[in-house]
């Protein structure tokens, strides 16, 4: 079955986003609640929300999603807030597909730059490698940002 990309958000996406974030095994309770709050913002505010979503569905099941949006008070800069792919379906190109589609939609909206923030903890090494492989560059490393020993890595891509 092919993967279908979906851009409209549905109330049941609250459950799917929570399921995906919990199953990833790397996000804290607070981070998972934040992911669901972004869904709630989009559901509640509709098009006026700054959060945009791309869902990867197959056979009625959500396999992953990306959330991105314009950065307030900037000219043409966007944040990529989340990319999460179901553990059973990782390393099959779904994350790449979600990222590339998000980049395309940012470009179509007039965006010229995308920023991604992630943890410097060892368990996030595959995530950091993912962004580097897909053309992002490490632009800043903020030592002990999240907690002692947990740096904040900021990646940027300005040609997509």
pLDDT at site 147: 94
What is the residue range of 66's domain? 4-157
Q: What is the largest distance, in Å, between two alpha-carbon atoms of the chain?
A: 45
The domain tally of the chain equals 1
Average pLDDT over residues 12-25: 95
pLDDT at site 91: 84
Task: Note the pLDDT tens digit of each residue in 112-129.
Answer: 999 999 999 998 999 999
Exposure b/e, 23-59, CB count within 10 A at least 16 = b: ebeebeeeebeebbebbbbbeeeeeebbbbbbbbbee
Residue 85 near residue 95, CB atoms below 8 Å:
yes
> How far apart (Å, rounded) are the C-alpha atoms in residues 129 and 127?
5
> How far apart (Å, rounded) are the C-alpha atoms in residues 110 and 78?
10
**Residue 104: both structure tokens together:** 């395309």
CATH code at 128? 3.40.630.30
**Beta strands at 113-119 and 77-85: parallel, antiparallel or unpaired:** parallel
pLDDT at site 79: 98
pTM of the model: 0.93
> How far apart (Å, rounded) are the C-alpha atoms in residues 143 and 32?
23
Query: How many CB atoms lie under 10 A from the CB of residue 1?
Result: 8
């Amino acid at each position: 079955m092919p993967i279908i990309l979906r851009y409209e958000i549905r109330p049941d996406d609250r459950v799917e986003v929570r399921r995906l974030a919990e199953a990833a095994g790397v996000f804290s309770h607070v981070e998972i609640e934040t992911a669901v709050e972004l869904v709630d913002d989009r559901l509640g505010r509709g098009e006026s929300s700054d959060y945009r979503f791309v869902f990867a569905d197959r056979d009625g099941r959500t396999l992953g999603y990306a959330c991105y949006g314009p950065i307030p008070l900037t000219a043409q800069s966007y944040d990529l807030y989340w990319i999460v792919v179901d553990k059973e379906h990782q390393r099959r190109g779904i994350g790449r597909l979600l990222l590339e589609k998000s980049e395309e939609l940012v470009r179509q909206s007039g965006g010229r730059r995308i920023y991604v923030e992630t943890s410097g903890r060892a368990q996030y090494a595959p995530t950091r490698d993912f962004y580097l492989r897909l053309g992002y560059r490490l632009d800043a490393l903020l030592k002990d940002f999240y907690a002692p020993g947990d740096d904040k890595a900021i990646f940027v891509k300005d040609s997509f």
